[in-house]
Amino acid sequence: MTTSHILGYPRIGPQRELKFALEAFWQGRQSAADLQSTAAQLRAANWRTQRNAGLRFVTVGDFALYDHMLDTAALLGALPSRFGFDAATLSLEQTFELARGNAAQPAMEMTKWFDTNYHYLVPELDAQTSFEQGAQGLFDRVREAREAGHRPKPVLVGPLTFLWLSKSHRQGFDRLDLVPALSRAYARVLARLAELGVEWVQLDEPALTLELDTPWRDALPALYAALPAQAGVGRPRLLLTTYFEAATPAPATLATLPVDGVHLDLVRAPQQIARWRDALPPTWVLSAGIIDGRNVWRTDLAAALQTLRPLHDALGDRLWVAPSCSLLHVPVRLSAEDAPGARLNPEVRPWLAFAEEKLAELRTLATALNEGDAAVADALQENISALQARRLCPRVVLPQVRRRVEGLTEADARRASSYAGRRAAQQARLQLPPLPTTTIGSFPQTADIRAARAAWRRGELRHTDYLQRMREAIAVVIRKQEAVGLDVLVHGEAERNDMVEFFGEQLWGYTFSANGWVQSYGSRCVKPPIIWGDVWRPEPMTVDTARYAQSLTALPVKGMLTGPITLLQWSFVRDDLPRSQVALQLALAVRDEVDALQRAGIAIIQIDEPALREGLPLKRSDWPGYLDWAVRAFGVCAGIAQDDTQIHTHMCYSEFNDILPAIAALDADVITVETSRSKMALLDGFGAFAYPNDIGPGVYDIHSPRVPSAADMARLLRRAAQLIPPERLWVNPDCGLKTRGWPETEAALRHMVQAARELRRELQAQGRIGAPNPVAQPAATQAEGRCNGCAHSAA
């Protein structure tokens, strides 16, 4: 019988139960026992769902209260030494201090999980890391699943991937020196799982899909060297699990490892089955990742069976079927969209499958292989009908959008003047001081703001009343920024539920779920919109709000937009058109908004692209093609801007040093980046590369409740001023402030302004920057009459 299984399941719960329990615990409204009870209920529900779908195993270890990489580090006894915590006795409170920081230590660094929008905590290793006395949580979960009557399949981040994704801040230390000790730690964990009666363990090794340097490729056998050669003697059977791309090493190389099967992603890399079909070792299982774990579209079951049947004929019971990757990256269940307040386009709904529906698809495939198509004839016919309805829908293609994309020229993707010429025009217009202070965009979304939005969506608050509430919130944000002393303001984004969904709601070609939440990090969840057709902007999206905010102050207020690559990456994207073409459709929509904003007198426009690096193909040899069309899409957005319109962009929680030429090619006048958790280490590359435009390195971590002192921020700024010419430095937080509270936000921003002013005085005394012009008139005042008039007429 063909085995069906999954690599992981969403943790957050169908109604974000984990999010609310975590935040209640952090705020002191619930006890640790309450939080653990909620977590246990969610695990039990997930396991029941998997068993009811006919899966042979339930996954254990995929559920984490904050992050699975943090749990793996604790399991291995590899916690950051600077916290002084003992992994064997790690408390719940200490776990969250690692993730969120405490009064003495900033949080562990956080970055993107491969090319997804999930953020993991980066393990910190050094020569003293011993990989001993780890946490017991995984073993407790195995017992918990067994006691509930399930067959557990523990999920572990594999040794290569764990070590590759870790970091060391110690000069001269090579993580590869830890290979023997790490291999022994995995052997210890696997031996313990064998003692608990575990049959199979899933070792996640997505790093095997990368093009690793020779030392890392050579380390692979040593990382597995301490594992017993045969299952049943000191270890369970092991499924070597790759996903997100084709496995890079040859099958013969991986066949030398002490494992018992391999999982292949046949959605993103279907071509790899050709070299594995005949090379699979005779005792191994092949887990075929045939259902898309990263997107929400229904599987073409007939096409999947066409792929699977020859494998089933050749392998029999050694063929397993599965999603391509963990279902962590998709919402929990489509049936939640049937509740009151549903927003999903009813025409599009039958084309979709969330995690629970993907389990049903998996069951259909396994049943068809084991019992024949007749056993699932109704399900197969219903699938055919839904796919045909999507293909024939006349609203998917907009000819005018296709013509406009085809008509784009190279000149459309470039600014009219060089950065040097634009900088002079912008300085003359803006008259900003050296080291100008600003924020990234969002300010705290208070309970009142969220309640007003919820009431408006339920139809309990009139649209005009909702707009007035949002204007009141914007006025508060402007006043608070002026009081703090910021130089460039933002309107705070009170009206925006999400930086992607807000724009998608105003564009043709998108639809939206009411409960399609996925985890981004910790308790932070996002609800990606769904791009189902050609994208078109029917009218301005942000102009009235930006014009109103600017009318409240003489200081410049940034117009805030989300860039085309982030709109692409943070949506569930149609799979019937190349992503490069969808990106250009999005770019044209953003371009039109940039032009409308500058025509309304907005002098600074920020086009956020935090997902630019996230979209990189996993194989470096594929990077140039992606970067060419991604940079072009950004250029199409910004190319319409006049010389004295200053274009900003923002990027966060990614490694940028290896794509600096592409970032420079974006030619944004100012880029702001996350750097505080790495203590400005991410800025080293910008300095070495001699990044040519202005840059704002983040000086404090907004994802932690810790409020750093002005002295802390000044130290980071001094480091930044050693790497970047100070006349091109900006001062800002790492990211938006949406998830923070007002007291900590105001305190941190006051410290940030104090640090910037302190460094200005130091640099002026050293003659490295000039003094600001005390009589300069901000450009915003020049347009104030126009902005006030528009705002008044709209009131």
Which residues are catalytically annotated?
703
* H/E element, 147: helix 137-147
Which amino acid is located at 53 in the chain? Answer: A
Which amino acid is located at 32 in the chain? Answer: A
Q: At what angle do helices 579-599 and 399-406 cross, to 10 degrees?
A: 90
Residue 136 dihedral angles phi and psi, to the nearest 5°:
-105, 5
Which amino acid is located at 569 in the chain? Answer: Q
Residue 652 DSSP one-character state: -
Q: Which residue has the tokens 């509430």?
A: 469
Q: Compute the distance between CA of residue 516 and CA of residue 62 in angstroms, rounded to an integer.
A: 19
Residue 370 burial (10 A CB sphere; 0-12, 13-18, 19+): middle
- Collect all residues with Cβ–Cβ distance below 8 Å to 290 and sequence separation of at least 6: 266, 267, 299, 304, 307, 308, 321, 322, 323, 324, 365
Beta strands at 530-536 and 508-511: parallel, antiparallel or unpaired: antiparallel
Q: Compute the distance between CA of residue 613 and CA of residue 674 in angstroms, rounded to an integer.
A: 13
DSSP line for 420-482:
HHHHHHHHHHH-PPSS-B---SB----HHHHHHHHHHHTT-S-HHHHHHHHHHHHHHHHHHHH
Q: What is the dihedral of CA 27, 32, 38, 42, to 10 degrees?
A: 110
Using alpha carbons, list the distances in angstroms from residue 624 to 176, 604, 650, 662: 29, 30, 21, 9
User: Which residues is 525 bridged to in the sheet?
Assistant: 519
> Residue 751: which of 698, 711, 705, 706 has the closest Cα?
711
Q: Compute the distance between CA of residue 342 and CA of residue 344 in angstroms, rounded to an integer.
A: 6
Token pair listed for 441: 């965009």
> Residue 744: which of 98, 29, 30, 103 has the closest Cα?
103
Residue 552 burial (10 A CB sphere; 0-12, 13-18, 19+): buried
Token pair listed for 144: 């918990």
- Asked if 536 and 510 touch (Cβ cutoff 8 Å), the reply is no
DSSP line for 538-582:
-S-SSHHHHHHHHHT-SS-B-EEEE-HHHHHHTSB--SSS-HHHH
Cα first-last separation, the chain: 69
Residue 249 burial (10 A CB sphere; 0-12, 13-18, 19+): middle
Which amino acid is located at 553 in the chain? Answer: T
- Asked if 618 and 115 touch (Cβ cutoff 8 Å), the reply is yes
Q: Compute the distance between CA of residue 153 and CA of residue 296 in angstroms, rounded to an integer.
A: 25
Q: Compute the distance between CA of residue 591 and CA of residue 691 in angstroms, rounded to an integer.
A: 25
- Asked if 29 and 78 touch (Cβ cutoff 8 Å), the reply is no
> Residue 206: which of 134, 301, 294, 319 has the closest Cα?
294
Token pair listed for 244: 């997100």
Q: Compute the distance between CA of residue 129 and CA of residue 207 in angstroms, rounded to an integer.
A: 22
Q: What is the dihedral of CA 169, 174, 175, 181, to 10 degrees?
A: -130
- Collect all residues with Cβ–Cβ distance below 8 Å to 769 and sequence separation of at least 6: 434, 435, 726, 727, 760, 763
Which amino acid is located at 187 in the chain? Answer: A
